[in-house]
């Protein structure tokens, strides 16, 4: 690989270790995400994410289920962190995101997390995917520093739910090569009701602006795999709950219409979704088509769509004047 990840320069200059130390200080009065719980996680106090000082790793693997430009031939080196700062009632990974009493037993040291990154590199993964890292951002930086010390040289993906702190993201400036955020809702009331997130729309917009400032709207490839850039995921929810119009308008007007969108069709009712009549079904073909039409409305022509009955298959939608592929 000829691409040199941004964090290598920060490691060599000594900046990376300084940032990791500054990040750990945040845990003493935690505001690592917009919940701003202000608990002392260093002392074992728990906030909304139910997480302490050390990172929780539920599993790690060479993962082939991401967008093809991230999975490539050898897979993305995904590290799945336990717990979450959101409480989505339809979470498809609720066994690890909302089962804190079990997940707390999966804590690992900073050194072990660094070794996991090196192990994934040895398996020839294309990148290191930090999956649901937000509530551990303050502690992951130290592991990245230790991994760089051990020879890590893969691009790092920040795969997040979007409910991130701008202040924390600034500490990751020049550390993260690929931002892969969700943009779940264009409506604060739905976000609060279904994910326990106050002012999700405003906080996520601010976080995405910071990500965009850091990496821009261009995807940089090496051998058909993205090594730098921004891809925004948007999951279509039943009954218009995601308020996709607001999401796409923001991306087009306040970021760039060139930003790449991964439009996801894989929603199905799980976890506690059966308790909410508006969420207790899969999405309809017409709902997914409507989301595609909204992307067209705002001139968002870069990215990928999924077949609604085969949601692990992504189709590129790079066209100057794209039309709804389901209406061809």
All domains of the chain in start order, with CATH:
6-327 (3.20.20.70)
Count CA atoms closer than 13 A to 64's CA, side-chain side. 4
Q: Which residues contact 213 (CB under 8 A, 6 or more apart)?
A: none
Of 105 and 126, the structure prediction assigns the larger pLDDT to 126
Per-residue pLDDT of 31-54, as tens digits, reads 999 999 999 999 989 999 999 999
Residue 325 has a pLDDT of: 40
Q: Which residues contact 310 (CB under 8 A, 6 or more apart)?
A: none
Which pTM was predicted?
0.94
User: Residue 105: is its pLDDT beyond 90?
Assistant: no
Per-residue pLDDT of 106-123, as tens digits, reads 899 999 999 999 999 999
- Residue 102: which pLDDT band, with cuts at 50, 70 and 90? low
User: Residue 321: is its pLDDT beyond 50?
Assistant: no
Residue 310 burial class via C-beta count within 10 angstroms: exposed 0-12, middle 13-18, buried 19 and up: exposed
Residue 223 burial class via C-beta count within 10 angstroms: exposed 0-12, middle 13-18, buried 19 and up: exposed
Angle between helix axes 200-215 and 188-195 (nearest 10 degrees) is: 100
DSSP structure string for 263-325: EE------TTGGG-TTTSSPPPHHHHHHHHHHHHHTT---EEEEETTEEEEEEE---TT---G
- Residue 327: which pLDDT band, with cuts at 50, 70 and 90? very low
- Residue 308: which pLDDT band, with cuts at 50, 70 and 90? confident
């Amino acid at each position: 690989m000829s691409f040199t990840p941004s964090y290598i320069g920060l490691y060599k200059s000594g900046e990376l270790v300084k940032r990791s130390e500054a990040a750990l200080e945040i845990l003493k009065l935690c505001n690592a995400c917009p919940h701003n719980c202000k608990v002392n996680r260093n002392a074992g106090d728990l906030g909304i994410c139910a997480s302490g000082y050390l990172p929780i790793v539920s599993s790690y693997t060479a993962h082939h289920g991401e967008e093809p430009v991230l999975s490539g031939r050898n897979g993305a080196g995904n590290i799945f962190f336990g717990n979450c700062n959101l409480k989505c009632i339809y979470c498809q990974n609720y066994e690890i995101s909302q089962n804190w009493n079990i997940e707390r037993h999966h804590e690992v040291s900073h050194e072990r997390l660094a070794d996991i990154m090196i192990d994934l590199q040895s398996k020839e993964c294309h990148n290191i995917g930090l999956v649901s890292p937000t509530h551990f951002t303050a502690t992951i930086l130290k592991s990245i520093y230790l991994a760089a010390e051990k020879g890590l040289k893969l691009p790092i993906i920040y795969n997040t739910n979007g409910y991130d702190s701008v202040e924390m993201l600034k500490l990751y400036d020049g550390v993260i090569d690929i931002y892969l955020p969700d943009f779940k809702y264009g409506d604060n009331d739905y976000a609060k009701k279904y994910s326990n997130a106050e002012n999700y729309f405003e906080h996520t917009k601010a976080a995405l602006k910071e990500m965009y400032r850091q990496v821009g709207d261009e995807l940089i490839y090496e051998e058909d795999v993205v090594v730098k850039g921004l891809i925004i995921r948007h999951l279509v929810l039943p009954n218009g709950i995601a308020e996709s119009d607001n999401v796409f308008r923001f991306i087009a007007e306040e970021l760039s219409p060139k930003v790449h969108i991964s439009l996801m069709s894989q929603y199905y009712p799980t976890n506690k979704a059966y308790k909410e009549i508006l969420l207790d079904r899969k999405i309809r073909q017409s709902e997914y088509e409507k989301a595609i039409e909204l992307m067209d409305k705002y001139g968002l022509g870069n990215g990928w769509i999924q077949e609604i009955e085969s949601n692990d298959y992504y189709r590129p939608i790079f066209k100057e004047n794209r039309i709804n592929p389901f209406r061809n």
